[in-house]
Amino acid sequence: MKKIIIAAVIIFFIFVGIVGSMDEDPADKKRQVTKKPKVTVTVRPTVKPTKKQTKKPTVKPTAKQTIKKPKIQKNVLIDTLQKRPVINGMGDKVLGKYGYIKLIKSNFKLLCTDKVLIDFVDFISKQNLLYVIIDFDDGTGLHGIDMIWSYCEIGKDSHDVFEGGPYLGDIRIYTDSKKVDRSHAGF
């Protein structure tokens, strides 16, 4: 673009010089002091230069590559849920799976709003779990799967499977009316 502008300016000066020399008398040229006049030329392009748009190559995933979908919402309970086996008393057969979450009680109170709890209960109802333990790491936690979550002591059975113990209170989660009753929680 700069080369075109420079070429246009040079052609302009050559043209002005040829036309100007045709009007002058050669005798007058000798009398005049030969001084080049200062000429300022401003050239503005009429069309803004555009950048060429480059297409990004599309990469198709191979069998080894998988495209991860972004998570729509963050839910501390869903994000930290672990599925663990429930073993029978003899220790030779897996009966199903339970969910386990380790979350400090103060973080539970801070992060687990009514919406988080309702979304969590909706999520785990589709996971085919026998029950879920939310371990507060102080010997207590929540034990449940559906509407009523018992606040209780948390222990382990002989096969290292977490289970609920003595009852200390409860939290009631109503997914149909989108309400949570924490009045009987005990913490």
SS3 48: coil
Please state the pTM of the whole predicted model. Answer: 0.59
User: Residue holding tokens 């790491």?
Assistant: 137
Token representation of residue 97: 């799976």
Residues 93-149 have pLDDT tens digits of: 999 999 999 999 999 999 999 999 999 999 999 999 999 999 999 999 999 988 899
CA gap 92, 69 in Å, rounded: 38
The answer to whether the beta carbons of residues 101 and 132 sit under 8 Å apart is yes
The answer to whether the beta carbons of residues 75 and 121 sit under 8 Å apart is no
